[in-house]
C-alpha cells in the first residue's frame, strides 16, 4: 500500500506528503506535530486499537481532527468459511474475524476515542460498496499474487492450504453469497473527532 501511495505522490508531484510505514501503537511522530489524521480501515487490524487511538491523540495538535473508518468485517469471512468447509472437508471450520471486536460497532469506536481524550463529533455505521466493476476484479484483489492482501492473509491464519487450492470453491461460494459482485459491500464504522483547544 505504501508503494501504491508513493506512485500517487510521485505522479501528482506532491511535496508535502511522505509515505512511511510506522507502528500505529508507537508512532514515531513527536507530540502535537500533526493537525489531521485519517485512518482508513486500519484501526481494527492493529495489535491494540486503544493504544493506536491514544497515539493518534498524542501526535495531534490541539484543535486537530481525526477521521477513522473501521470495517465491521462480515463480507469476506462468510465466503471464506463456506469455501474452506467445502474444499477442505472441514465442516466445523470457523473463519477468523477480520477486525478486532473493539472496533466493530458505533459504541465501541466512540468509547475508544473518548478513552483517548478525543471529543467525538460523529460516529455512524455506513454501508460501503466496494465498487467492483465485475467479479473478476474482486477475485484479482482477493487472490493478488503481486501484493500481499492483508484480508486474505488474515483469513488463512491457522490453515496449511495454498490460496490456489481454495480459489475455485471460493469463486463458487462467492457467486452464491454475492450474485452481483458490483453490489458487494462491507459495513463500516465512520468516526470524526477533534482534540480540544486551538491550532
Dihedral angle sign, alpha carbons of residues 96, 177, 106, 124: positive
pLDDT along the chain (199 residues), means of 10: 84 87 94 94 90 98 96 86 94 88 93 98 94 92 77 80 88 95 93 88
Looking at residue 199, its pLDDT comes to 59
Cell numbers given for 11: 505522479
Please name the residue that has the C-alpha cell 478525543.
118
Cα 189 from Cα 106, distance rounded (Å): 6
DSSP H helices, 60-89, are 75-87
Looking at residue 2, its pLDDT comes to 80
Relative to beta strand 34-40, strand 185-194 is unpaired
Catalogue all structural domains in the chain, each as residue range(s) with its CATH number: 35-194 (3.40.50.150)
Looking at residue 157, its pLDDT comes to 80
Cell numbers given for 22: 510506522
CB neighbours (10 Å) of residue 73?
Answer: 25
Looking at residue 184, its pLDDT comes to 93
Amino acid at each position: 500500500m505504501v508503494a501504491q501511495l508513493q506512485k500517487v505522490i510521485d505522479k501528482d508531484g506532491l511535496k508535502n506528503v511522505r509515505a512511511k510505514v510506522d507502528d500505529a501503537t508507537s508512532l514515531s511522530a513527536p507530540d502535537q506535530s500533526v493537525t489531521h489524521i485519517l485512518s482508513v480501515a486500519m484501526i481494527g487490524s492493529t495489535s491494540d486499537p486503544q493504544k493506536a487511538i491514544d497515539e493518534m491523540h498524542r501526535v495531534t495538535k490541539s484543535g486537530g481532527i481525526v477521521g477513522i473508518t473501521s470495517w465491521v468485517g462480515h463480507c469476506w469471512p462468510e465466503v471464506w468459511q463456506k469455501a474452506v468447509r467445502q474444499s477442505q472437508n472441514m465442516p466445523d471450520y470457523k473463519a477468523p474475524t477480520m477486525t478486532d471486536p473493539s472496533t466493530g460497532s458505533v459504541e465501541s469506536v466512540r468509547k475508544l476515542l473518548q478513552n483517548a481524550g478525543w471529543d467525538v463529533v460523529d460516529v455512524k455505521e455506513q454501508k460501503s460498496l466496494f465498487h467492483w466493476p465485475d467479479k473478476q476484479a474482486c477475485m484479482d484483489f482477493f487472490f493478488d499474487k503481486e501484493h500481499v492482501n492483508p484480508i486474505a492473509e488474515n483469513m488463512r491464519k491457522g490453515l496449511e492450504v495454498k490460496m490456489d487450492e481454495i480459489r475455485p470453491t471460493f469463486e463458487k461460494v462467492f457467486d452464491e453469497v454475492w450474485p452481483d459482485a458490483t453490489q458487494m459491500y462491507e459495513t463500516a464504522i465512520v468516526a470524526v473527532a477533534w482534540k480540544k483547544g486551538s491550532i
